Structure 1
């Protein structure tokens, strides 16, 4: 990847619905070479898809909770089973395998404290293999980036 590829990616992260002509102009190419580069970035799996960013507050999900999970066993089978179980929960926006004292970090969004309590009691606490959990409520997002930094 070169600097132009990085500019293409940054432009599409800002506006994934950009027309090729506008994208080409923004990155300093003509339309045909820009379209070829875009196709290559997609076929190589650098660009994996397009989606809409939504405001969770406006969807009635203003509460973000980070849940640290310690598993009873860190063997591949236990981690895989946890990942499959957690993937079925709509409240879980992200699930990360971590280093350190906690094995898993979840980002959960819910409508209110009662909804989080229901999530814990009816879903998360029923997943086998959990030794311990700790929850931290986000007060507000201070920095949120979805765009790559400038190319090196």
Structure 2
């Protein structure tokens, strides 16, 4: 684990808010030179603290107005069925995330769809046809608040 000082934590908070900020802007906010800011950012990448940058798309504006969290319980368990399921479900474009979890279900999927009937099509024709799928439970997202998580 890497040691983070107060400046590193402030830098991470700034990057969480807007990762497109130039190093010169970040440096001014933190009281650092641009090269010093770049060195800190590079160190955070090299140590694995920063894993990458992601594009945050507005699914509503792209025509995907429904987000569903789907719990999936596999009918059969074993390394082969898990690998086959993960590979197959990851190939479905509407499936945004695949989380292997502990609890009532084996997986939690985040699925985007144009509307409820589009979700039903994805569920019936794609998800339920996957190898090993047993029980499922759908939860439709009503709203979402982004919380970046603790930085320490």
Q: TM-score, normalised by structure 2?
A: 0.89
Q: 1:55 deviation in Å?
A: 1.2
Q: 1:126 is paired with a residue of what secondary structure?
A: coil
1:118 aligns with 2:121: yes
Cα distance in 1 for residues equivalent to 2:31 and 2:97:
35
Cα distance in 2 for residues equivalent to 1:34 and 1:52:
22
Cα distance in 1 for residues equivalent to 2:11 and 2:102:
33
Q: 1:123 is paired with a residue of what secondary structure?
A: helix
1:93 to 93, 96, 121: 96
Cα distance in 2 for residues equivalent to 1:54 and 1:94:
14
The more displaced of 95-104 and 49-58 is 49-58
Q: Is the CA contact 1:64–1:107 (under 8 Å) kept in the aligned structure 2?
A: yes
Residue of structure 1 equivalent to 2:20: 17
Q: Is the CA contact 1:10–1:148 (under 8 Å) kept in the aligned structure 2?
A: no
Kindly report structure 1 stretches of 4+ aligned residues shifted beyond 3 Å: none
Q: Deviations over 1:60-98 (max 9, x none)?
A: 101011110001234333222211111111111111111
2:146 to 139, 144, 147: 144
RMSD (Å) for aligned C-alpha atoms: 1.6
Q: Is the CA contact 1:24–1:30 (under 8 Å) kept in the aligned structure 2?
A: yes
> Which aligned pairs between 1:1-152 and structure 2 lie closer than 5 A?
1-141=4-144, 143-145=145-147, 147-149=148-150, 151-152=151-152
Unaligned runs of 5+ in 1: none
Q: TM-score, normalised by structure 1?
A: 0.89
